[in-house]
Amino acid sequence: MAENLINLTIDGTPVSVPKGTLVIEAAKQTGVLVPHYCYHPGLPVAGVCRMCLVEIEKAPKLQIACATEVAEGMVVHTHSAQAKAARMGVLELLLINHPLDCPICDQAGECELQDFTFQEGRPASRFSPTYAKRFNPVEDFGPDVLYVPNRCILCTRCVRFMEDVAHEPVLNVSERGDRAYVGVHPDARLDHPWAGNVVDLCPVGSLLSKDFLHKARAWELDKTASICTGCSQGCNVTLDARDDVVVRIRPRPNLAVNSYFMCDHGRANYRWMNRGDRIEAPLIRQPDGSHRAVDWDEGLDHAAEILRGAGGSAVALVSPRTSTEALFLARALLTDLDWTGSFQTVMGEEAPLPGVPNLALRAERAPNATGAELLGYHRDYARALAALEHAAVALVLDDPQVAVPPAGALIYLGTVLPDDAGAAVRGADIVLPITNTAEEEGTFVNRDGRVQRYWQAKPGPGMAQPAWWVLGEILAKLGRGPHLATAAEAFDRVAQEVEVFRGLTYSRLGFGGQVVPRGAGVGVPA
Amino acid sequence: MGFPHKPHARETVVLSQYFGDSDARGYKGWVKRGGYQALERARALPAAGVVEEVKNSGLRGRGGAGFPTGLKWSFMPKDKKKPHYLCVNADESEPGTFKDREIMRWTPHALIEGTLIAMYAIQAEVAYIYIRGEFTEPLAIMKDALVEAEAAGVLGKLKIHLHRGAGAYICGEETALMNSLEGKRGNPRIKPPFPAAVGVFGMPTTINNVETLAAVPPIMKRGAAWYKAMSLSNPKSTGTKLFSVCGHVRQPGNYEVTMGFPLKDLVHELSGGMRPGRTLKGCIPGGSSVPILNREETESCLLDYEGCVEKGTMLGSGGVIVFDDSADMVYEIMRLARFYAHESCAQCTQCREGTAWTMKILERILAGQGKLEDLDLLLDLSENMTGKTICVLSDSCAAPVVSGIKKFRGEFEDYISGKRRPVMVA
């Protein structure tokens, strides 16, 4: 490997990078961000914005860092007077036709034109104010995309995404000179299942999400690393919450999973995180069939009591949207009994993103089906329902639509109680309120066996607690394990006790996740 | 169809020998005049020998850049793993240039023969002649000539396609031409990779100008030494060159002279000089994209690649635009800027926004609303537009502006001070 490394100096910092690396990427390694617009690591190089001009010693003129490969002994100055003057020139030119409507622009606060203008732009334009700026009306490009041509700086990221990544070239640059704008095919809409990425790719506020339109200012948003719950692909995402309400999901780069992208299905899949009709306290069933709200001590005691006296068979019906930790602990509660566990998933259409290998909106619309399978839950849901008829204990983990009432006791850990009076969980002996994905920490295992962490974006409602905490407490009350105070402790217990997760630690999962050992059996140690 | 003038005694007639001779247009007439002998001679040599011969002749690209033709051919991969292509740049759109048009109108077979020799030299099976969309008449003539040449069997297994452009100046830029040929938007590509490595359809490609290829048959026929000997000044510039003279001269037209010929004589003698009572103000010697020369520079410039560089300009495509004392340089430069603003492909920021801004400032000056600071702004803007973009369209817009302000500053100041009445409405 070492002989394939190229040594160069960027702004006085020596750096070694693999052969073929672009100067702009090598600069990132030294902590230098060369300002740029058209360059994006997930797209083919265009070299058109001319913003990333840098000085390279011995080169006759300034070079664009995004299209220049590193060479041995190269000396790069990204902030020389010449390079800065060139970039200042580009910024001035970009602002000629860019409206200064930042106060009403959704991009403000996360706009690269704003950022770089503040960083190295000219304090005032020399473009005489008597000139009118280019004007074109706002266009409706697709189900969730608006195009504001006045703000467009023609970096062509959106055009290249649709052409080279989505393989559906419905966008182009129309007209030429300063009249140019991004055009959509007259007979097409920007309705590819992955089209929403053009909004993220747009460095300015030219392509906007209708869903997020005027919903929040960028600086009001709390950003939390998470995993998309839309399907079993496990795209890494960021949840943007404003005042503890999730208002937007955007992709978070992970080259091993989703590159820089996420699909529109996942992008729209956040409203459930904010629903208000949540269970807020533990509920114990009264003889007359009603539920009484209790505190956690009483609720946990009651649950432990049900399990302590139980014998015979048990059934666990779990949601493949719950954390690996909760799935494991639910199983751990029942291992002394003759238990069976199952889950069901919603299926949909598969929608691949052709330009990125092994990336698609998967037919299986659940983030943790693989985790459930690795932990011994099966997909034969009908069999599990049949087993309910003679089960002494049924444990339902956030699967509220169970219709068959069990023969024995029913413990329900859930986020909501369905309105439908026929739902079995409405008759549960005990209902324990748990948090949803946005309100807790935990892990999911994606379809390729990658264990990935998600973080807490907002507080849970009322007394709701993460399912792994609730289950851990019940186990502790039964004397079958320590109190679990954090998701890390819960996960590390999974890694200790389940063969396939052995060797993983919560902290080492990091932001990118780790793949569980391939071909390892799913064993439960005695 | 206009006939060209009779050759002036001081012209060196090689390419333009049969201009006006409609019999030379047909295959039979061309063969009667010794056509296709050069091709036979070339095919008797190994391909590398043809490249060597053209290298030795000192022939340089006539499209504007002046890159040595033989050297360009030698960049093609020697071990042929992919198909090789030849592109013929017949998209002559440089304002003030109309030499390729005449070559195609009068001697289409010279171009076909040169194309076939080049194809042999670079081992290409297919050539594309990308012909300017507005050239309806040359297109028809080239079509007929190609049919004749095919019927006569001179092509052998080779294929030559005529492709008509759709009216974009930028498609004369070699990589934009390739994109256009591929059916894409005519945007210049970033280099590297260079066409010899990745050209049209991703294959190794050589691209040559019409005049360059038309000069190849005489070289193969009469030898590199003969061609190389034609040089009046710098030995690095050899052969003859067609100059398209237009503007304020009495006999505008194409004149073929040996490299190193004095520009002064081309303007004052060959093309008939100024109209009565008028004096020379300056000229643009190499198509609209090169710096303007004032009178003194025009009258001391020698017409070859080095002679023009010495005067701070370039030989370019050989389109000589002459201005007499009636010319309003501010207006002329504004017209050029307007052209570039209209033709910018919109890829690079400096070009897309800079050309249009340049035009607006010049229009404002012509409307009597300019300020003295505008001249510094124009110079600074032009600096920003020079050497920073994918192709040189932006540089081409800056060149006449910078040289114009430097050499004719007084005219700009007269509009700004109000000494001269506005000629435009803001």
Summarised one tens digit per residue, pLDDT across range B54-101 is: 999 999 999 989 999 999 999 999 989 999 999 999 999 999 999 999
Assess A273–B contact: CB distance below 8 Å, yes or no.
no
Q: Are residues B302 and B354 in the same domain?
A: no
Assess A129–B contact: CB distance below 8 Å, yes or no.
no
Q: Given phi > 0 = left and psi -120 to 50 = alpha, else beta, which region is A391?
A: beta
pLDDT bin (cut points 50, 70, 90) of residue A406 is confident
Helix (H/G/I), strand (E/B), else coil: A142? strand
Q: Are residues B47 and B99 in the same domain?
A: yes
DSSP per residue, B255-292: EEEETTEEHHHIIIIIT--SPTT--EEEEEBTBTTS--
Percent of all residues in chain A with a pLDDT value above 90, rounded to a whole number: 90
Task: Note the pLDDT of residue B1.
Answer: 37
Task: Note the pLDDT of residue A392.
Answer: 94
Query: Does residue B423 sit within a domain?
Result: no
Q: Hey, what CATH topology would domain A283-515 get?
A: Rossmann fold (3.40.50)
Summarised one tens digit per residue, pLDDT across range B266-294 is: 999 999 999 999 999 999 999 999 999 99
Compute the mean pLDDT over every residue in chain A, rounded to the nearest whole number: 94
Average pLDDT value for residue range A409-417: 96
Mutate which: A22, A45, A48, A179, vs B, most B CBs within 10 A: A48
B290: CATH: 3.10.20.600
Assess A126–B contact: CB distance below 8 Å, yes or no.
yes
Helix (H/G/I), strand (E/B), else coil: A146? strand
- Residue ending a domain, choose from B324, B347, B377: B324
Position A4 pLDDT exceeds 50: yes
Does the domain made of A2-94 have the CATH classification 3.40.50.300?
Answer: no
Q: Are residues B62 and B129 in the same domain?
A: yes
B372: CATH: 1.20.1440.230
- Kindly give the residue spans of alpha helices, DSSP state H, lying in A215-279: 264-267
Query: Does residue B9 sit within a domain?
Result: no
Show the CA angle centred on residue B286, arms to residues B283 and B292, nearest 5°.
35
The kind and range of the H/E element at A382 are helix A381-388
Q: Are residues B278 and B303 in the same domain?
A: yes
B window 340-359, beta carbon within 8 A of A:
341-350, 352-357
Structure tokens at A203: 């460095």
Average pLDDT value for residue range A388-405: 92
Mutate which: B173, B180, B184, B347, vs A, most A CBs within 10 A: B347
Cis? peptide before B108, omega within 30° of 0: no
A257: CB partners within 8 A, 6+ apart: A233, A234, A235, A236, A359, A446, A448, A450, A452, A513
Structure tokens at A307: 């399990």
Summarised one tens digit per residue, pLDDT across range A47-60 is: 999 999 999 999 99
Better-scored residue on pLDDT, B4 or A430: A430
Q: Which of A53, A61, A176 lies at the smallest CB-CB distance from B346?
A: A176
- Residue ending a domain, choose from B290, B324, B358: B324
Compute the mean pLDDT over every residue in chain B, rounded to the nearest whole number: 96
Summarised one tens digit per residue, pLDDT across range A288-336 is: 989 999 999 999 999 999 999 888 899 999 999 999 999 999 999 999 8
Which residue in B has a C-alpha nearest to residue A36's C-alpha?
B349
B115: CB partners within 8 A, 6+ apart: B86, B88, B127, B129, B160, B213
Q: Of A265, A251, A252, A257, give the one whose Cα is nearest residue A194.
A: A265
Contact B288, B95 (CB under 8 A): yes
Q: Are residues B161 and B245 in the same domain?
A: no
Are A67 and B389 a contacting pair at CB < 8 A? Answer: no
Helix (H/G/I), strand (E/B), else coil: A300? helix
B426: CB partners within 8 A, 6+ apart: A130, B363, B364, B367, B368, B369
Q: Name the architecture of domain A129-274.
A: 2-Layer Sandwich (3.30)
Helix (H/G/I), strand (E/B), else coil: B92? coil
Position B3 pLDDT exceeds 70: no
Contact A105, A151 (CB under 8 A): yes
Q: Are residues B270 and B298 in the same domain?
A: yes
Summarised one tens digit per residue, pLDDT across range A450-491 is: 999 999 999 999 999 999 999 999 999 999 999 999 999 999
Cis? peptide before B195, omega within 30° of 0: no
Task: Note the pLDDT of residue A132.
Answer: 83
Are A131 and B344 a contacting pair at CB < 8 A? Answer: no
DSSP per residue, A312-359: SEEEEEE-TTS-HHHHHHHHHHHTTSEEEEEE---B---EE-TTSTT-
Query: Does residue B15 sit within a domain?
Result: no
Q: Are residues B365 and B335 in the same domain?
A: yes
Helix (H/G/I), strand (E/B), else coil: B101? helix
Which residues in chain B have their CB less than 8 angstroms from residue A53's CB?
388
Query: Does residue B10 sit within a domain?
Result: no
CA distance B33 to A223: 80
Are A177 and B344 a contacting pair at CB < 8 A? Answer: yes
pLDDT bin (cut points 50, 70, 90) of residue A129 is low
Instruction: Give the largest CA-CA distance in chain A.
Output: 88
Contact A431, A449 (CB under 8 A): no
Q: Of B187, B161, B183, give the one whose Cα is nearest residue B174.
A: B187
Query: Does residue B140 sit within a domain?
Result: yes
Assess A53–B contact: CB distance below 8 Å, yes or no.
yes
CA distance B241 to B61: 10
CA distance B317 to B244: 9
Assess A214–B contact: CB distance below 8 Å, yes or no.
no
Position A148 pLDDT exceeds 50: yes
| ipTM field | 0.93
Which residues in chain B have their CB less than 8 angstroms from residue A64's CB?
190
| Pairs of residues, one from chain A and one from chain B, whose beta carbons lie less than 8 Å apart | 86
Query: Does residue B2 sit within a domain?
Result: no
Position B426 pLDDT exceeds 90: no
Percent of all residues in chain A with a pLDDT value above 70, rounded to a whole number: 97
Position A525 pLDDT exceeds 60: no
CA distance B287 to B264: 17
- Residue ending a domain, choose from B204, B228, B252: B228
Q: Are residues B301 and B407 in the same domain?
A: no
Query: Is-above-0.90 flag for pTM?
Result: yes
Q: Of A194, A170, A180, give the one whose Cα is nearest residue A262.
A: A194
DSSP per residue, B137-172: HHHHHHHHHHHHHHHHT-STT-EEEEEE--S-GGGG
Position A496 pLDDT exceeds 80: yes
Assess A152–B contact: CB distance below 8 Å, yes or no.
no
CA A70 to chain CA centroid, nearest Å: 33
Structural domain count, chain B: 3
Q: How is residue A505 annotated by DSSP? A: -
Average pLDDT value for residue range A426-430: 95
Task: Note the pLDDT of residue B147.
Answer: 97
Q: Are residues B108 and B248 in the same domain?
A: no
Assess A181–B contact: CB distance below 8 Å, yes or no.
no
Q: Are residues B221 and B179 in the same domain?
A: yes
Q: Where are the domains of chain A?
A: 2-94, 129-274, 283-515
Q: How far A48 CA lies from chain B's nearest CA (Å)?
A: 5
Query: Does residue B84 sit within a domain?
Result: yes
Query: Does residue B66 sit within a domain?
Result: yes
Show the CA angle centred on residue B58, arms to residues B55 and B62, nearest 5°.
105
Q: Residue B353 sits in which domain range?
A: 329-417
Are A154 and B346 a contacting pair at CB < 8 A? Answer: yes
Q: Are residues B201 and B140 in the same domain?
A: yes
Instruction: Give the largest CA-CA distance in chain B.
Output: 69
Summarised one tens digit per residue, pLDDT across range A152-194 is: 999 999 999 999 999 999 999 999 999 999 999 999 999 999 9
Average pLDDT value for residue range B23-39: 96
